[in-house]
């Protein structure tokens, strides 16, 4: 690794659903973006996996907060506590970790100056000296192994927890992009409301998330069909426990409305791409990253809509974090980092 410098470097994918921190090229922290606080004093009780286990199961003295909503910081104090706690989990072998931290943090491409400022302030309060930002689609493209500085068009779609980012990249810059607040969290809400309307069942966020992972699909006709998933939840009318098996076809129906919004946004970006770059995109395909890329049949659905091949990147959940790590190693070289 060479000489240990006094400056410690971290790449942070501060996501609505998960926060990933890369240190020395390795993933040091990969935890849900959630904190549990004491209701009265505001003291931190737990972060990450521990807080996630408490989510939806707390009493009046504990509250669980997801500090980010739709890709941006919704609760400044909780975000700072979470960042500080997560950075504290990075074992660096050095006691003097906090004084000089260099960070690269990724942000949604549609972020306003106020939102960028909020992320920067949170990072600085959590110990960051040198804070750089990178737009999420750019980080996802780097993480997918694309040469973003080549004079060639690459289109990337990053479906995270809070936002779906769609961008065309060429020559180290974003040519055109759209960011919408339809992503993993909205899919989870869709499943909750579907279970309520169709089956009269009151399903919590964690159960709906599990349904999405086990039988989530974007099409009603899959080659490799998952088994039905058993859901147990109280009946809304009787409050008695009811158990039903949910199939992937039902879930694809539940997600249809949200998926149509993503389809429409993809078409909008395709319309904006200059013709020379469009030819590159049609030839090379469109890259899918983020947790939403794991939705069964999504690549098939989008291919049928556009006639352009869709490629799911390796380990899509961590693509943005990997790209942020690459940007950290090339801070002096990449001109698209925001200081």
Angle at 210 between CA 166 and CA 51, to 5 degrees: 90
Topology (CATH) of 8-139: Nucleotidyltransferase; domain 5 (3.30.420)
DSSP code string of 155-203: EEEEE-SS-EEEEEEETTEEEEEEEES-SHHHHHHHHHHHHHHHH-B--
pLDDT for residue 97: 47
Angle between helices 248-272 and 184-199 (to 10 degrees): 140
| Domain locations in the chain as residue ranges | 8-139, 140-182+259-319, 184-254
Provide the b/e sequence for 89-106 (b: ≥16 CB within 10 Å).
ebeeeeeebeeebbbbbb
pLDDT for residue 222: 87
pLDDT for residue 102: 87
Max CA pair span of the chain:
67
pLDDT for residue 203: 94
CA atoms within 13 A on the CB side of 214: 16
CATH H-level, domain 184-254: superfamily: ATPase, substrate binding domain, subdomain 4 (3.90.640.10)
Helix (H, G, I), strand (E, B) or coil at 57: coil
Considering the domain 140-182+259-319 in this protein, what is its CATH number? 3.30.420.40
Cβ(38)–Cβ(45) below 8 Å? yes
Helix (H, G, I), strand (E, B) or coil at 147: coil
pLDDT for residue 96: 44
pLDDT along the chain (339 residues), means of 10: 61 90 89 90 90 86 89 87 87 54 87 87 86 92 92 93 92 91 94 94 92 93 91 93 94 94 94 93 94 93 93 92 91 81
Phi, psi angle pair for 194, to nearest 5°: -65, -45
Q: Do domains 8-139 and 140-182+259-319 have the same CATH topology?
A: yes
β-strands 286-289, 35-38 pairing = unpaired
């Amino acid at each position: 690794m060479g000489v240990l410098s006094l400056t410690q470097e971290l790449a942070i994918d501060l996501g609505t659903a998960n926060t990933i921190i890369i240190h020395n090229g390795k993933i040091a922290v990969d935890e849900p973006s959630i904190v549990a606080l004491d209701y009265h004093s505001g003291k931190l009780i737990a972060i990450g996996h521990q807080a996630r286990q408490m989510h939806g199961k707390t009493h009046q003295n504990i509250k669980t907060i997801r500090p980010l909503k739709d890709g941006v910081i919704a609760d400044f104090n909780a975000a700072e506590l979470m960042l500080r706690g997560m950075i504290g989990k990075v074992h660096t072998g050095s006691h003097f970790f906090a004084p000089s931290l260099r960070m690269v943090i990724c942000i949604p491409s549609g972020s306003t100056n106020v939102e960028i400022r909020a992320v920067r302030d949170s990072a600085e309060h959590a110990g960051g000296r040198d804070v750089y930002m990178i737009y999420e689609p750019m980080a996802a493209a780097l993480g997918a192994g694309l040469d973003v500085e080549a004079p060639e068009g690459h289109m990337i779609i990053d479906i995270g927890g809070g936002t779906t980012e769609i961008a065309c990249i060429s020559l180290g810059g974003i040519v055109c992009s759209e960011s919408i607040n339809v992503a993993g969290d909205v899919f989870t809400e869709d499943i909750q409301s579907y279970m309520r309307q169709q089956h009269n069942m009151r399903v919590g966020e964690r159960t709906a998330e599990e349904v999405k992972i086990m039988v989530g699909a974007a099409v009603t006709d899959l080659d490799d069909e998952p088994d039905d998933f058993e859901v147990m939840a109280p009946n809304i009318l009787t409050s008695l426990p009811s158990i039903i098996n949910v199939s992937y076809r039902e879930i694809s129906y539940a997600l249809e409305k949200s998926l149509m919004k993503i389809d429409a946004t993809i078409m909008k970006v395709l319309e904006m791409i200059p013709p020379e770059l469009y030819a590159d995109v049609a030839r090379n395909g469109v890259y899918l990253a983020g947790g939403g890329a794991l939705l069964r049949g999504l690549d098939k659905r989008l291919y049928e809509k556009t006639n352009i091949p869709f490629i799911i990147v390796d380990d899509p959940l961590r693509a943005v974090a990997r790209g942020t790590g690459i940007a950290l190693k090339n801070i002096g070289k990449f001109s698209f980092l925001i200081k």
